[in-house]
Structure 1
Amino acid sequence: MVDKQSNLIDVGRVTSVFGIKGWVKVHSDTEPPENIAGYSPWWLKTRHGVKAMEVEEFQPHGKGFIARFKGVDDRDGAEALARVTIAIERSQLPPLAPEEYYWHQLEGLKVINEYEGEPQVLGCVKHLLETGANDVLVVAPTEDSLDDRERLVPYVPGQFVKQVDLVEGLIRVEWDPDF
């Protein structure tokens, strides 16, 4: 879940070390995945706090990427940075067209269902899933929701998603609550 107070947005992870010269394996959550290389600095969320790191080298490797940070030249240094989240500052994200949203903007919003009648609270957006055909809102129940079920609602604006209101913190949907 995104911390709405933080200026940092999670964009990937350092998964493990690669070789003996300070390289690490990187998993990117950006779209397209190689866009992660365009952000600088990377803020690594280590167990000792958040640390800004400059990527000195970056390249594709297998289904992911490998990177080497400035000042990290051996396996021990890389090991200290393995298994951490990579974040960037919100201000680094490019602006979007109207009616487009970053996933982090939708996470935590209350979901109101307007399917056949009286509006009902389904819960709040826990996170999103990428399925290929369309993204899916994972809606977790809340104290004021219709019931205690988690629901998957396709993020299809105009069809199932009727309105996103970032100011009010709401998403209005038309979704059969039995699904």
Structure 2
Amino acid sequence: MERRRIVLGRISGLFGVQGWVKVFSDTRPRDEIARYSSVQLGQSGQWREAGVEAGRAHGKGVIMKFQGCDDRDAAAALIGQEIAVWRDQLAALPDGEYYWADLLGLEVVTVDGVHLGVVGDMLETGANDVIVVNGDRERLIPYVPGDVVRNVDLETRTITVDWDPEFQ
């Protein structure tokens, strides 16, 4: 099986003068991105391994320090780079919980067998997550397990939803 790279966030700015950077994290909780000892840094399809020396929540964000990045100039060179890990580095989840990255590209069908399209993106709205389905048109379907989302099958790469195909 091919290893998949999962982007967890990106370097957004400088923090101090000793090589620390500000990080925009897509993980929940936000500081989960700093728990990895090794990540990949990349930009424009070019990736390299990087050791994480330290990281923590700071205010509403996250700060991190990478091995070999010991001053402000070295840190400045990292701004804009994405932070990723291999899919197999992610922690196992309880049954019924899924990483968004695992849902992207899955086929979405209704309980009546109507094909709606594929998951193109996921959105966080506060009330519940939303599946962005790309098919004959874009549909926004609430990710509400049991009510709207009836089944997620990673083996067959399908999500079954209780959703009116004519809605939206």
After TM superposition, is the score higher than 0.5? yes
- Residues 117-136 of structure 1 aligned to structure 2 (within 5 Å): 118-136=112-130
- 1:54 paired with 2:20, answer no
The equivalent of 1:65 in structure 2 is 62
Match of 2:89 among 88, 92, 114: 92
Q: Secondary structure at the match of 2:141?
A: strand
CA shift at 1:136, angstroms? 0.9
Per-residue CA shift, 1:105-139, capped at 9, x if unaligned? 1110011123xxx5221110011111122111011
Match of 2:100 among 68, 90, 103: 103
CA shift at 1:80, angstroms? 1.7
How far apart, CA to CA, are the structure 2 residues paired with 1:75 and 1:140?
Answer: 43
Question: TM-score normalised to the size of structure 1?
Answer: 0.85
Q: Secondary structure at the match of 2:33?
A: helix
The equivalent of 1:155 in structure 2 is 143
Question: TM-score normalised to the size of structure 2?
Answer: 0.90
* Percent of pairs with identical residues: 49
Evaluate the alpha carbon distance shift between residue 60 and residue 98 of structure 1 in structure 2; reply closer, same or farther with a 3 A threshold: closer
CA shift at 1:57, angstroms? 2.7
Moved over 4 A (4+): none
How far apart, CA to CA, are the structure 2 residues paired with 1:104 and 1:20?
Answer: 34
How many residues align? The count is: 167
The equivalent of 2:152 in structure 1 is 164
Contact 2:30/2:57 (8 A) holds in 1: no
How far apart, CA to CA, are the structure 2 residues paired with 1:167 and 1:59?
Answer: 36
Give the gaps of 5 or more residues in structure 1. Answer: 142-146
Contact 1:60/1:66 (8 A) holds in 2: yes
Give the gaps of 5 or more residues in structure 2. Answer: none
The equivalent of 2:134 in structure 1 is 140
